[in-house]
Amino acid sequence: MLVRRIAPTIQSEEILPLRCGLFPVVGPWNCLAEGRPTQRCEAQACGVKRKDPPMHTARLSIVALMATTGLVLGAAPSWAQPQTEDETILVTFDSTRSDPAAAAEQAVERAGGTVTDVEPLGSTIAAVTITTTSHRETAAIEDRAEDQRGVKAAEVAGTVYPTTTNDTYYSYLWNLNNASASTYGVKAEKAWAMSTGAGTVIGIIDTGITRNTDLNAHVIAGYDFIDDDTNPTDAGPVSATSWHGTHVAGIAAGIANNGVGIFGVAPNAKIEPIRMLGAYGGSDADLVSAILWGAGVSKGGASVSNAHPADVLNLSLGSSSSLNLSCPTALQTAINQAVAAGTTVVVAAGNDATSLAATYPANCSNVIRVTATGVGGKLAGYSNHGTTAFPATVAAPGGSATSGSDPNPQHWILSTWPDSYQFMVGTSMAAPHVSGEVALLKSIAPSLTPAQVTAVIKGHKTAVSDGCTSARCGAGIANAAAAVAHVAPPAVTTAKVAGTARVGRVVRASMPTSLEADHLSYQWLRDGAAIATATRSSYRLTKADYRHAVSVKITATSAGVTVTKTSARVSVAKGTFGKQRSPKARGTARVGRTLTAFRGRWTQSPTSYRYQWLRDGHKIAKATKTHYRLTAKDRGHKISIRITVKRSAYVTRSARSTQRLVR
């Protein structure tokens, strides 16, 4: 039987039938002409030898020139905020408050705000959410709150865009980071609060690996099936290799927060380099051996057993679509055995802009087939696609550059290179995003089977931007944060009611959890019984709650596991009125004239008002109407009005106007 050879995607007709899954370009501003490699560039493909020397014009020097500074977006000023129904005002006090939430709520209500939620942020700061109809109204409330005694500042909360790692080229990693331009990335950085891939192994079946600060500390013992030894390094000269495996490894598991370079999807996963692609590609026999060894099924012809079987194997390689070859039986058997052993197999769809049914291992079964998308969320023009018979599983960022001179770094995928960094595009770049996601999942849910892993990835994704069908492009673009949140155990402790338990005040449900908001549900209780429609995270206490005890039941659900916690009960006291504007005695203060009472403005809408006119602070008999006609007895004295407000289940409150001297 003929043993086929495998080689990188950048291939000449001399290299058949397998090749690396990357698009035939390395580095922007390099050597791609109209989507096809030039003769000089073909020499860069995973060790493809050519008479002409390779052209590497876009190495670290160009990357460094473009990526010397990371971008951090600060909070926008309040007047620049987009119009919304709710706004949050941060209230800061001059000194410590025993109940900063209550004090902030009162300050904002006095300023005319309709408060829907309050959250204490410290002993002197609280966040107050209000319902507003315009930014002008919000600004006015902000100003009035800030004018009150004891309030140091009242500021509308802005939006910040996190740059949470110190990696030099953070701003180029649209495919991974939390930046605002990363809509169609895999949301890897967001997932790290729940999982970083610790304790997992990613097997990179490729050209081997080279030294790079973003890889070295996490590389474990691998194997070289070309030279049949335990040294899977790929240190060949530029004329003999593309260092493809090094680039793939960085995407899957580059180290984060080490002050240099880039990071990968699963920055704490271990990298197991398994070399079976060389200068002239590799054979099916070596690919089968690499899969069996990588999964710990057998030695696969190696001289040593695998001490660390991989949780996931990444295959960024494939046969030429032009040959229309089906999946070899031996290869399918090896994949099946690896999957049965618990190892997920991720494969690149290929880069011939045709059906993946024509190239293996993408047309093998029991694998995750990965297509490539660009920064705009559309299937890349070079990417192979699925069919009804051979549907794609999921898409992932692979870049969208169609010319080596494309200067836009967002059209490329930046990753590790021998002691440097390089831009590339291709389904070879897409596949390791998914392999990294598998590592994140297995890190926190090690019992997941490959079938369960696949289902989670397909079920938690970002929709492609152009409506591409699931068969053609996959279920969507891999979303590591959503997938990990789905399997993350609901690490909850206790539920509690936060806020001041008075009628008219807003109380909040609080429960530490690793889950995102859509995994939580709430039910507020009065004396243990459910309150109709009170199913949000906050609840405004009503007069029906006075002299009763309220509590909240919080339910957290993740991957079919449900945890319910009910808080302790808190007794509800009478509400209190907040004074927004003081009463006034309006009119001319002259004997014979009539003064009219302005009853002020109050929070919580009093249901009754009582009037009492005062002379030098003392009651004037029978002067209890809204109007008072000044008499000779008032000349030379000071007149004021006292307003008393009432409402059921509220503490009665009075306020007096400034005094008017009568002439």
pLDDT digits (tens, 9 = 90+) for 126-160: 888 888 877 788 888 988 999 999 999 999 876 54
pLDDT of residue 182: 83
356 and 462 inside one domain = yes
- Whole-angstrom Cα distance, residue 346 to residue 369? 6
Q: Are residues 349 and 473 in the same domain?
A: yes
| Single pTM value for the model | 0.63
With 70 as the cut, is the pLDDT of residue 612 above it?
A: yes
Q: Where residue 322 sits, what CATH number does that domain have?
A: 3.40.50.200
178 and 198 share a domain? yes
In terms of domains, do 151 and 172 share one?
no
Query: In the predicted model, what is the mean pLDDT of residues 391-397?
Result: 98
Task: Give pLDDT tens digits for 590-610.
Answer: 999 999 999 999 888 899 999
Task: Tell me which residue range forms the domain holding 62.
Answer: 5-69+164-487
Rounded to whole angstroms, how far apart are CA atoms 469 and 462?
Answer: 13
Domain termination site, one of 532, 548, 571: 571
CA dist 214 and 573 (Å) reads 58
Residues 6+ apart with CB under 8 A from 447: none
Same domain, 404 and 287: yes
User: Helix, strand or coil for residue 272?
Assistant: strand
Query: Could you say which of 156, 179, 208 is where a domain stops?
Result: 156
Note the pLDDT tens digit of each residue in 45-59: 332 222 222 222 222
- Provide the pLDDT for residue 52: 29
pLDDT value at 363 more than 70 = yes
Q: Note the pLDDT of residue 263.
A: 98
Residue-wise pLDDT for 54-88, tens only, equals 222 222 111 111 222 222 222 222 223 334 467 88
Question: Given this model, what pLDDT does residue 287 score?
Answer: 95
Output the domain CATH number for residue 537: 2.60.40.2700
| 269-283, 362-376, 590-604: the lowest-pLDDT one | 269-283
Q: For a pLDDT cut of 90, what percent of the chain falls above it?
A: 63
pLDDT of residue 120: 79
Least confident segment among 222-226, 403-407, 643-647: 403-407
Q: Are 529 and 448 found together in one domain? A: no
Q: Output the pLDDT for position 475.
A: 97
Final residue in a domain of this structure, among 444, 464, 487: 487
Tell me, yes or no, whether 393 and 531 share the same domain.
no
Determine contact, residues 261/224, Cβ cutoff 8 Å: no
- The number of distinct structural domains making up the chain is 4
Tokens 């289940």 sit on residue: 649
pLDDT confidence of residue 588: 96
Domain co-membership, 181 together with 132: no
Regarding whether 366 and 470 lie in a shared domain, the answer is yes
CATH code of residue 84: 3.30.70.1150
pLDDT of 578 reads 83
Partners of 131 in beta bridges: 86, 114
Catalytic residues: 206, 244, 428
**Which amino acid, one-letter code, is at 204?**
I
Same domain, yes or no: 89 and 219: no
Residue 75 has a pLDDT of 27
Task: Please give the mean pLDDT across all residues of the chain.
Answer: 83
∠ Cα 424 179 407 (to 5°): 35
Instruction: Count Cβ neighbours within 10 Å for each residue of 543-581 and write b for 16 or more, e otherwise.
Output: eebbeebbbbbbbbbbbeeebebebebbebbbbbbbbee
Q: What are the phi and psi torsion angles at 567 (to 5°)?
A: -75, 170
Q: How confident is the model at residue 40 (pLDDT cuts 50, 70, 90)?
A: very low
pLDDT digits (tens, 9 = 90+) for 468-495: 999 999 999 999 998 998 888 665 567 8
Name the nearest CA neighbour of 240 among 404, 405, 420, 56.
Answer: 56
Please state the rounded mean pLDDT for residues 344-372. 97
State residue 231's pLDDT score. Answer: 93
Residue 558: pLDDT band (50, 70, 90) is low
If pLDDT is split at 50, 70 and 90, which confidence band does 106 have? confident
Q: What is the mean pLDDT of residues 192-207?
A: 95
Is 560 found in the same domain as 425?
no
Specify whether 461 is located in the same domain as 520: no
